[in-house]
């Protein structure tokens, strides 16, 4: 049963209720036609089977015709009174009560079996519009039924004796008392029988209206509670979906057989795969572990034991460090239903960890270098001075003089190395001034072109955009960054190649990019590139790149390296522009 109104408030409340009520009214029209046809058709067949030749017009045919005509009117009212559902329903209820009253009159009054149809109309009215309409229809049914049977009993209206005589052989047993009493008071119907019939019918009408109303209210309450729970469940599902889709960690669930059942957005982003390629496939399709490793994980995973390994994941041309954990998935009853795979991209974290370790190592090496330079510098100065004094007392071409010259030369080289250590350990105070970084790059490139480090096989390119940008920094230290990185790039191309230097503005930084097509570096070399005393070229001290790293760090900048063996190297230095200092346009430059 479809309930369409809340308690005490007639009529539908939502668009869904309106559609349901329209459908109910159409069903009422169809059922009414079926009922009247089922009553008229046996009577018509009885007349055909009888020996009488008469086909005179009867009251039952009139009633059927009125019903069919009324049904056409009801169909038209669905269009004409669209939206006035209560008025349409009441019109149909009144028409049905009149139809049933006519059938009760025609088929014997008190003895008519069609009085049961009153209850159907009362039930429908109470279910659709509840208490007020249900009791109103019950009252009208009581009035029509009581008036009809009382009028027949007292002879206020003539009984349809001919129609009753034709219908009684089918509907009732002629030998029964009801067949004799239905002809009215003259047949000897006792008054108590009339009174009893009226009381039971009227009491039944109101009882059915009341019980149907209560039942409709309970159904309505249950439907509201169910709808609220469905809405709560839908909201919970939306919240759950939003939470799962919003977490930054990748999340994949799979069944006990290892088939993927769900994938969130973070998992798609980390793995570089869309969920269509993962759903319904083995969890090993994610390529975080092999089939053998997955079998071992399944056999050892338990509620109190989790795996938290890290793997190197190859995504395109880049490598990512991914850490994952596998836990059991159970339902509300604790029954094991599958596995949950949670993973994160640890590349940035590993990068920060490496930078932190590098800083700690640089700090430790700086302290060590400062101590060594202090302890070695003074004795070295004494040795150098003594050797110089000894050389003045010896002849130029003597063997001892040549030995002393070697000692002096090596002591001077050791002095330069110690000064490099001191520069790394205790760099000079940074003097920040406002200067044109694009102009500085132009000057340094011109000097580099004319330096002995550049051979005929080398090609230098400079691209700056815009042609003039103001930067607040130490120009000497920026030049030192340029020379150290440029020389390293040239050393990586001993057989010649192209060194491209670019300068441009990205967001709030000025980026200087050095691109060479030299021998490149593998992952291990890139990780140790800025470590002190790590030189990849013959004759290098391993201090230059560590000094570059420290200068960039002191300026609040960033360094990034992209290199592959045999494919060259790209090193980018990002230096922050002065706060609130916009990059000038070409016209201003």
CA angle 331, 334, 339 (to 5 degrees): 60
3-state secondary structure 106-141: HCCHHHCHHHHHHHHHHHHHHHHHCHHHHHHHHHHH
3-state secondary structure of 587: coil
> Read out DSSP for 280-308?
TSBGGGG-SS-HHHHHHHHHH-BTTB-B-
Q: Please state, in angstroms and as integers, the Cα–Cα distance from residue 274 to each residue in 13, 138, 265, following that order.
A: 44, 64, 9
Burial class (CB in 10 A: 0-12, 13-18, 19+), 230: exposed
Give the helix/strand (H/E) hosting 344: strand 336-345
Residue 235, number of CB atoms within 10 A of its CB: 10
CA angle 244, 248, 250 (to 5 degrees): 70
Per-residue burial over 495-510, b if 16 or more Cβ lie within 10 Å, else e, is eebebbbbbbbeeebb
Torsions phi, psi for 343 (to 5 deg): -145, 160
Q: What pLDDT does 117 receive?
A: 84
pLDDT values of the chain reduced to their tens digit, one per residue, 589 residues: 344 443 344 444 555 665 666 677 777 777 777 777 776 777 677 766 664 544 444 666 777 777 787 778 877 877 777 767 777 778 888 888 888 888 788 777 887 887 888 898 888 888 877 788 889 889 999 999 999 888 888 878 877 644 345 434 433 444 444 444 444 443 346 788 888 889 999 999 999 999 988 888 888 888 888 888 888 888 877 787 777 777 888 888 899 888 998 888 888 888 888 888 888 888 888 888 888 888 888 877 776 666 677 787 877 667 777 888 888 888 777 788 888 888 888 877 777 777 677 666 666 666 666 666 656 666 777 777 777 777 776 666 667 777 777 777 777 777 766 666 666 555 556 678 889 999 999 998 988 888 888 888 899 999 998 889 999 888 888 888 898 899 888 888 888 899 999 999 988 889 999 999 988 888 778 777 777 666 666 555 567 787 888 888 888 888 888 888 888 899 999 999 864 444 444 444 3
Rounded Cα distance between 257 and 282, Å, is: 8
> Read out DSSP for 218-258?
HHHHHHHHHHHHHHHHHHHHHHHHHHHHH-SSEEEEEETT-
Beta-carbon contacts of residue 528 (< 8 Å; ≥ 6 apart): 534
Asked whether 571 and 561 are in contact (CB, 8 A), the reply is yes
Rounded Cα distance between 501 and 134, Å, is: 90
Rounded Cα distance between 43 and 38, Å, is: 9
3-state secondary structure of 337: strand
Residue 400, number of CB atoms within 10 A of its CB: 12
Nearest to 287 by CA among 268, 313, 267: 313
Q: What pLDDT does 177 receive?
A: 40
Nearest to 491 by CA among 454, 460, 527, 466: 454
- The overall pTM is greater than 0.75: no
Asked whether 526 and 561 are in contact (CB, 8 A), the reply is yes
Q: What pLDDT does 6 receive?
A: 39
Q: What are the counts of helices (DSSP H) followed by strands (DSSP E) for the chain?
A: 16, 12
Q: Which two tokens mark 240? A: 């759950």
Rounded Cα distance between 295 and 293, Å, is: 5
Per-residue burial over 245-284, b if 16 or more Cβ lie within 10 Å, else e, is eeeeebbbbbeeebebbbbbebbbebbebeeeebeeeebb
Rounded Cα distance between 1 and 127, Å, is: 8
Q: Which two tokens mark 501? A: 């230097």
Rg (CA), the chain: 51
The β-bridge partners of 320 are 313
What stretches of 428-582 show up as alpha helix (H) in DSSP?
A: 437-449, 475-491, 523-527, 544-554
Q: Which two tokens mark 168? A: 């009684």
Rounded Cα distance between 453 and 486, Å, is: 10
Q: Strand runs (DSSP E) across 410-465, as ranges?
A: 433-436, 458-465
Rounded Cα distance between 209 and 203, Å, is: 10
Residue found by looking up tokens 């021998």 in the block: 519
Asked whether 258 and 275 are in contact (CB, 8 A), the reply is no
Q: Which two tokens mark 248? A: 């930054």
3-state secondary structure of 565: coil
| List of domains in the chain | 15-226 (no CATH), 247-345 (3.30.450.20), 351-425 (1.10.287), 433-576 (3.30.565.10)
User: Peptide bond before 466: cis, by omega within 30 degrees of 0?
Assistant: yes
Q: Please state, in angstroms and as integers, the Cα–Cα distance from residue 564 to each residue in 149, 307, 411, 502, following that order.
A: 105, 32, 39, 20
Asked whether 263 and 275 are in contact (CB, 8 A), the reply is yes
């Amino acid at each position: 049963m479809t309930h369409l109104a809340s308690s005490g408030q007639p009529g539908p409340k939502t668009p869904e209720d309106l559609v349901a009520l329209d459908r109910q009214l159409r069903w009422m029209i169809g059922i009414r036609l079926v009922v009247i046809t089922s009553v008229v058709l046996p009577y018509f067949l009885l007349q055909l089977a009888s020996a009488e030749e008469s086909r005179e017009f009867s009251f039952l045919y009139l009633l059927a015709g009125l019903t069919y005509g009324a049904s056409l009117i009801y169909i038209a009212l669905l269009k004409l009174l669209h939206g006035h559902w209560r008025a349409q329903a009441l019109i149909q209820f009144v028409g049905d009560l009149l139809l049933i009253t006519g059938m009760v009159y025609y088929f014997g009054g008190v003895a008519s079996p069609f009085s049961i149809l009153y209850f159907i109309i009362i039930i429908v009215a109470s279910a659709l519009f509840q208490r007020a309409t249900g009791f109103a229809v019950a009252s009208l049914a009581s009035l029509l039924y009581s008036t009809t049977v009382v009028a027949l009993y007292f002879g206020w209206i003539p009984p349809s004796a001919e129609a009753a005589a034709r219908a009684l052989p089918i509907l009732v047993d002629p030998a029964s008392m009801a067949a004799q009493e239905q002809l009215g008071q003259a047949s000897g119907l006792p008054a108590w029988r009339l009174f009893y019939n009226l009381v039971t019918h009227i009491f039944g009408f109101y009882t059915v209206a009341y019980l149907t109303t209560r039942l409709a209210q309970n159904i309505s309450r249950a439907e509201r509670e169910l709808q609220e729970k469905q809405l709560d469940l839908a909201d919970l599902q939306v919240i759950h979906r939003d939470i799962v889709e919003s977490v930054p960690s990748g999340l994949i669930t799979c069944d006990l057989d290892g088939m993927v059942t769900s994938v969130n957005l973070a998992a798609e982003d980390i793995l570089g795969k869309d969920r269509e390629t993962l759903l319904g496939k083995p969890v090993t399709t994610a390529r975080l572990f092999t089939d053998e490793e997955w079998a071992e994980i399944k056999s050892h995973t338990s509620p109190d034991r989790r795996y938290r390994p890290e793997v190197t994941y190859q995504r395109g041309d880049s490598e990512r460090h991914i850490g994952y954990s596998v836990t059991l998935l159970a339902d509300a009853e604790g029954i094991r239903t599958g596995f949950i795979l949670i993973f994160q991209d640890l590349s940035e974290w590993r990068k920060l960890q490496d930078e932190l370790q590098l800083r700690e190592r640089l700090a430790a090496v700086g302290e060590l270098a400062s101590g060594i330079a202090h302890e070695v510098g003074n004795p070295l100065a004494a040795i150098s001075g003594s050797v110089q004094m000894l050389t003045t007392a010896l002849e130029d071409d003597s063997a001892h003089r040549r030995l002393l010259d070697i000692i002096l030369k090596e002591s001077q080289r050791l002095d330069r190395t110690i000064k490099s250590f001191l520069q790394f350990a205790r760099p000079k105070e940074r003097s920040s001034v406002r200067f044109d970084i694009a102009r500085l790059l132009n000057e340094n490139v011109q000097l580099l072109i004319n330096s002995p480090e550049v051979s005929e096989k080398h090609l230098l390119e400079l691209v700056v955009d815009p042609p003039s940008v103001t930067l607040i920094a130490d120009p000497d230290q920026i030049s030192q960054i340029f020379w150290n990185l440029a020389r390293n790039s040239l050393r990586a191309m001993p057989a010649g190649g192209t060194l491209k230097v670019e300068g441009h503005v990205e967001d709030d930084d000025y980026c200087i990019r050095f691109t060479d097509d030299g021998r490149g570096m593998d992952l291990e070399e890139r990780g140790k590139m800025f470590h002190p005393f790590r030189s990849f070229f013959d004759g290098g001290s391993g201090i230059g790149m560590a000094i570059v790293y420290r200068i960039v760090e002191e300026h609040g900048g960033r360094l990034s390296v992209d290199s592959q063996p045999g494919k060259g190297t790209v090193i980018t230095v990002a230096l922050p522009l002065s706060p609130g200092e916009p990059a000038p346009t070409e016209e201003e430059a």
